[in-house]
Amino acid sequence: MSLATPDKNWWQPLDKDEKMWLKVCLLVALGLFLMMPLFHLYGKQNPPTRSYRVEPAQYKELVDKFIEENAVRDEDGDIVDMEGIPVVEPKEGVKDIYLLSQKWMFTPILKLKKGVEYQLHMSSLDLNHGFSLQPKNINFQIVPGYDQVLKITPRDSGEFYIICNEYCEIGHHTMIGKLIVTE
């Protein structure tokens, strides 16, 4: 009956029920709006608050240096011949740790200690990538040209997978990294 004229003058002053529902909607909207600043102040998962402009090549140098200084073995267990993805265990006192994403891998495999606070640097060499830590509910965007620093303290030990959740061309579905947390 969309062609029929409404049988009431709907633009006349609102009746009691309508006013009540409008107030309910307004309160819900305000509540959701306030969640944003509250999550920022009290939430456990917040976006990086530090980010810097960085040239991809420059960032690659930082990652290479970090790997060189801290690598323990590659993913196949080789200690000397590091052809695979290196496993990096930050030395005692090293707070700044680096993760590089590029088509279609994450380097290195980070081996962290439970309960230790780190500054995780993330950037990309080529396209936008995603950092989704499984099976945890952590999800960030990795953008080329920016070094985004995330303060993290692992609370659980085990092996976790990093999945790229930003489509990055043909090999996107194979882009999986690993993060190890030891006791």
Element housing 69 (H / E): helix 56-70
* Minimum separation from the CB atom of position 3 to Cu ion (A): 52
Q: What is the spatial distance between Cα 101 and Cα 175, in angstroms, rounded to a whole number? A: 9
Q: Which is nearer to Cu ion, 121 or 129 (CB)?
A: 129
Q: Which is nearer to Cu ion, 54 or 142 (CB)?
A: 142
Q: Which of 129, 107, 118 is nearest to 63 (CA)?
A: 107
Tell me how far the alpha carbon of residue 45 is from its chain's centroid.
Answer: 9
Among 100, 125, 164, 181, binds Cu ion (CB under 5 A): 164
If binding means CB under 5 A, how many residues of this protein chain bind Cu ion?
A: 4
The answer to the question of residue 129 lying near Cu ion (CB under 5 A) is yes
Contacts of 95 by beta carbon, 8 Å cutoff, 6+ apart: 117, 118, 119
Q: Which stretch binds Cu ion (CB under 5 A): 15-23, 82-90, 108-116, 165-173?
A: 165-173
* Cβ contact 62:121 at 8 Å: yes
Q: Which is nearer to Cu ion, 111 or 129 (CB)?
A: 129
Quote the tokens at residue 98: 């680096």
Q: Which stretch binds Cu ion (CB under 5 A): 64-72, 85-93, 111-119, 174-182?
A: 174-182
* Minimum separation from the CB atom of position 137 to Cu ion (A): 19
Q: Which stretch binds Cu ion (CB under 5 A): 10-18, 70-78, 126-134, 148-156?
A: 126-134
The answer to the question of residue 168 lying near Cu ion (CB under 5 A) is yes
* Cβ contact 126:144 at 8 Å: yes
The answer to the question of residue 175 lying near Cu ion (CB under 5 A) is yes
CA torsion, points 148, 151, 153, 154, in degrees to nearest 10?
A: -20
Q: Which residues of this chain interact with Cu ion, rule CB under 5 A? A: 129, 164, 168, 175
